């Protein structure tokens, strides 16, 4: 068997075929292979191929991205096993293309673009020897302080679902995809210990509906989360795995644990529907065989898990031509161009008073702020990528304007920076966060419940690691690994960055503030003073060029916020990084703002353009539909300005006479449209009746008959939205 350090081969085994198979043929092959496997081999397939204490120091030392992580390779039968590499901002293996983070891509509101991103990710991964992409992260952004906010697409269930679906469809042209983290994993620091309480309605409508969409789109795998849900760990939670995922949604792929700490008890996990323990041999390896032999876990459960693993390996091995996956497909010019396009389409123009942007006639630009000159692509945990280069904002602007035209100050001394700004025609201040402020978090000291998963140390190094984890001391030999990250300490910028902005704006009224962050930022200390504000997010390896394109007007910004930017944390749901228990309900994001009558700084769906648009003539295909029908909603959209631009038409619904409390509005469809100046186009959105359903614990999904209101809006707080009513019979 391969070991942790030798698993870089591009061997997909006998399951890779040029031939295309029908679903029946795939099933037949899976069953045939299953019959040939011994019980030991079956259990071997159900966990990672690395002995725990061999793999653990490497993984914890940052080696997670050194090669693919293999599970269940059986050379005797040509079974390649699962060959995992992470994402989501690109494949984490060396040389792959680094895209903007998911939150940025969510701000593009362009699912066709997301599918193209997925296509590149899948193709690059297969060329790098992987067959399984772990980066379809669609956890809901309940609170913008969540450390891994950047790995997901935003705060809205519908928007998350269609983005997750698009990425999955693109990736799965080449390799298996895994959607994660199932479920209710919306906090970071407490992820290994928190119990999330949730009622059936909030669970189904708000926290699971997007997972269901991705499952129905055919995702190969689902990764269970670390946290506990209603008193049971998600990795061994029968309601989540057996009942909802496998039974109700008919999922025929495999479930796998989140890495190392995602399973607590082998028997419970097996019986709950957990198929694969990743990435090491641990609890299944120690206990599953005797549990089967003693009749505590039926053999059929083990067969079912293996059938699921085999089915997906066969499904994604068939119809392949190795010539499509040569090394040249990795990080090539075409893929980097797509990274640039994605970054351009992600940028959100938040404020542009006095039409500061696009910048014209720049002779001298002062670029200010430490983030302008460091590669800042986001999180330093499992999503950290290794691109060939990163174009910083400073580099992008210098390339565009000429080196001499752009001066730079890191902003450490605000007075000095202001002086530089004073001498320039325009100042660009780049501020925000890095992986030190937000990202994945790996606590040094482990909770006793977590430590209980560790197998007996087999080496002196292993014993030292256990001791270090117990005491919260640095681990021996630790190099690399996760940077601080975690849930954010604050939603506003650092006080010194806020002071810097104010100083520079005072020195030069033609100042653009560019923010880099993974989710919402509170901007109250300086929002009124700054004439122009641009949200750059973590924009990937080509981000600096994309920024220059937008600031100089070569590209007209068309991104829209995928999360609400609040004025104050008081308008957000309860969030405590250290909580041991928390309740998730129906209320967060724009739904909560609308219910509470609160006004955000920048609403969900908001973004400006260098042109203007007008919407008119809203019409419905019918004034009534059945719950299984589909309504077509059409509007005439005109670019009323003088430059080409993109608008995102957003469809929200409300149910004024509902018997139950519903969100005042909910996003149900959207479309990003490009229009030439003066062009008018009819834009049609589809609204399936099933999207109108709410969840009732007693009777499942219910589409209430009665009156519904549809709004076509430019964002969630658009007072000028066009509205029309229709009836559901």
Least distance in angstroms from the C-beta of 674 to ligand BGC: 34
Q: x/- site string to ligand BGC, residues 358 to 387, per CB under 6 A?
A: ------------------------x-----
Least distance in angstroms from the C-beta of 69 to ligand BGC: 8
180 binds ligand BGC (CB under 6 A): yes
Q: Which helix (H) or strand (E) holds 411?
A: none
User: Is the Cβ–Cβ distance between 447 and 389 less than 8 Å?
Assistant: no
Return the number of the residue (395 or 519) whose C-beta is nearest ligand BGC: 519
Enumerate the β-bridge partners of residue 430: 514
Least distance in angstroms from the C-beta of 60 to ligand BGC: 10
Least distance in angstroms from the C-beta of 347 to ligand BGC: 26
- Terminal CA-CA length for the chain: 61
- Please report the DSSP string for 448-485 in residue order: HHHHTTSPPP-SHHHHHHHHHHHHTPPPTT--S---S-
188 binds ligand BGC (CB under 6 A): no
411 binds ligand BGC (CB under 6 A): no
Q: Residue 597, preceding bond cis, omega within 30 degrees?
A: no
Return the number of the residue (157 or 221) whose C-beta is nearest ligand BGC: 221
Return the number of the residue (47 or 258) whose C-beta is nearest ligand BGC: 258
The CA distances from residue 330 to 378, 439, 570, 575, 595, in Å, are 21, 26, 46, 40, 47
Least distance in angstroms from the C-beta of 447 to ligand BGC: 15
Return the number of the residue (68 or 382) whose C-beta is nearest ligand BGC: 382
153 binds ligand BGC (CB under 6 A): no
497 binds ligand BGC (CB under 6 A): no
Least distance in angstroms from the C-beta of 227 to ligand BGC: 11
User: Is the Cβ–Cβ distance between 673 and 681 less than 8 Å?
Assistant: yes
The β-bridge relationship of strands 624-625 and 722-728 is parallel
User: In whole angstroms, what is the distance from residue 301 CA to residue 117 CA?
Assistant: 36
- Per DSSP, the three-state class of 710 is strand
Least distance in angstroms from the C-beta of 592 to ligand BGC: 27
Enumerate the β-bridge partners of residue 136: 179
User: Is the Cβ–Cβ distance between 608 and 351 less than 8 Å?
Assistant: yes
One residue of 64, 182, 280, 538 binding ligand BGC per CB under 6 A: 64
User: In whole angstroms, what is the distance from residue 274 CA to residue 36 CA?
Assistant: 22
Return the number of the residue (229 or 533) whose C-beta is nearest ligand BGC: 229
Return the number of the residue (317 or 485) whose C-beta is nearest ligand BGC: 485
Return the number of the residue (251 or 280) whose C-beta is nearest ligand BGC: 280
The β-bridge relationship of strands 532-535 and 581-584 is unpaired
258 binds ligand BGC (CB under 6 A): yes
487 binds ligand BGC (CB under 6 A): no
Residues 78-137 that bind ligand BGC (CB under 6 A): 86, 134
Number of residues that bind ligand BGC (CB under 6 A): 7
The β-bridge relationship of strands 532-535 and 348-352 is antiparallel
189 binds ligand BGC (CB under 6 A): no
User: In whole angstroms, what is the distance from residue 389 CA to residue 147 CA?
Assistant: 25
Return the number of the residue (115 or 151) whose C-beta is nearest ligand BGC: 151
- Please report the DSSP string for 132-172 in residue order: EEEEEE----SSTT-TTGGGS--S-HHHHHHHHHHHHHHHT
- Comparing every residue's Cβ against ligand BGC, the nearest one is 382
164 binds ligand BGC (CB under 6 A): no
Least distance in angstroms from the C-beta of 84 to ligand BGC: 8
Least distance in angstroms from the C-beta of 135 to ligand BGC: 7
User: Is the Cβ–Cβ distance between 646 and 556 less than 8 Å?
Assistant: yes
Catalog residues that contact ligand BGC under the rule CB under 6 A: 64, 86, 134, 180, 258-259, 382
């Amino acid at each position: 068997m391969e070991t942790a350090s030798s698993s870089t081969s591009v061997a997909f085994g006998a399951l890779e075929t040029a031939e295309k198979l029908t679903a029946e043929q795939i099933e037949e092959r899976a069953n045939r292979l299953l019959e040939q496997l011994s019980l030991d081999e079956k259990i071997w397939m159900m966990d990672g191929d690395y002995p725990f204490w061999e793999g653990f120091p490497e993984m914890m030392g940052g080696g997670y991205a050194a090669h693919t992580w293999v599970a269940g390779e059986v050379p005797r039968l040509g079974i390649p096993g699962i060959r995992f590499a992470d994402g989501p901002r690109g494949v984490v293996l060396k040389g792959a293309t680094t895209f903007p983070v998911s939150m940025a891509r969510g701000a593009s509101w362009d699912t066709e673009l997301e599918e193209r991103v997925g296509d590149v990710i899948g193709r690059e991964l297969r060329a790098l020897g992987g067959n399984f992409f772990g980066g379809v992260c669609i956890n809901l952004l309940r609170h913008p302080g969540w450390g891994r906010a950047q790995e997901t697409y935003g705060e809205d269930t519908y928007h998350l679902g269609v983005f997750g679906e698009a990425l999955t469809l693109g990736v799965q042209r080449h390799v298996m995809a895994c959607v994660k983290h199932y479920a209710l994993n919306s906090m970071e620091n407490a992820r290994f210990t928190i119990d999330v309480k949730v009622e059936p309605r909030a669970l189904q409508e708000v926290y699971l509906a997007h997972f269901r969409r991705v499952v129905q789109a055919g995702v190969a795998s689902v990764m269970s989360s670390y946290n506990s849900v209603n008193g049971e760990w998600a990795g061994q939670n029968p309601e989540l795995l057996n009942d909802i995922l496998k039974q109700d949604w008919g999922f025929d792929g495999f479930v796998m644990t989140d890495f190392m700490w995602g399973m607590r008890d082998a028997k419970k996990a097996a019986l709950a529907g957990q198929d694969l323990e990743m990435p090491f041999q641990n609890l299944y390896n120690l206990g599953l065989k005797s549990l089967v032999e003693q009749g505590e876990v039926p053999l059929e459960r083990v067969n079912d898990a293996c059938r699921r693993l085999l089915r997906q390996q066969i499904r994604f091995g068939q119809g392949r031509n190795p010539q499509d996956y040569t090394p040249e497909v990795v990080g090539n010019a075409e893929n980097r161009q797509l990274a640039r396009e994605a970054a351009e389409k992600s940028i959100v123009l938040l404020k542009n008073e006095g039409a500061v942007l696009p910048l014209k006639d720049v002779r001298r630009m002062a670029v200010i702020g430490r983030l302008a000159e460091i590669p800042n692509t986001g999180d330093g945990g499992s999503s950290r990528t290794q691109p060939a280069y990163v174009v910083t904002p400073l580099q992008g602007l210098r390339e565009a304007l000429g080196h001499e035209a752009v001066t730079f100050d890191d902003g450490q001394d605000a007075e000095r920076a202001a002086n530089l700004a004073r001498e320039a025609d325009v100042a660009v201040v780049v501020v925000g966060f890095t992986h030190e402020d937000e990202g994945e978090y790996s606590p040094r000291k482990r909770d006793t419940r977590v430590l209980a998963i560790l197998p007996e140390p087999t080496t002196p190094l292993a014993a030292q690691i256990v001791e270090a984890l117990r005491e919260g001391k640095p681990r021996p030999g630790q190099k690399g690994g996760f940077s601080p990250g975690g849930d954010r300490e604050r939603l506003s910028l650092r006080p010194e960055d806020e002071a810097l902005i104010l100083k520079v704006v005072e020195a030069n009224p033609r100042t653009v503030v560019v923010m880099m962050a993974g989710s919402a930022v509170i901007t109250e200390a300086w929002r009124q003073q700054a004439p122009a504000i641009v949200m750059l997010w973590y924009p990937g390896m080509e981000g600096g060029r994309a920024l220059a394109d937008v600031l100089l007007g070569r590209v007209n910004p068309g991104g829209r916020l995928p999360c609400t930017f609040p004025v104050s944390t008081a308008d957000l749901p309860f969030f405590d990084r250290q909580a041991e228990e928390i309740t998730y309900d129906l209320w967060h994001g724009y739904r909560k703002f609308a219910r509470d009558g609160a006004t955000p700084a920048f609403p969900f769906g908001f973004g400006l353009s260098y042109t203007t648009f007008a919407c008119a003539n809203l019409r419905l295909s019918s004034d009534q539909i059945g719950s299984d029908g589909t309504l077509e909603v059409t509007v005439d959209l005109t670019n009323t300005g003088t430059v080409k631009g993109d608008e995102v038409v957003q469809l929200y619904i409300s149910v004024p006479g509902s018997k139950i409390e519903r969100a005042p509005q909910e996003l149900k469809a959207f479309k990003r449209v490009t229009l030439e100046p003066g062009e008018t186009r009819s834009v049609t959105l589809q609204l399936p009746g099933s999207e109108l359903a709410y969840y009732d614990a007693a009777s499942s999904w219910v589409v209430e008959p009665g009156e519904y209101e549809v709004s076509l809006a430019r964002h969630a707080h658009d007072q000028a939205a066009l509205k029309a009513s229709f009836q559901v019979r």
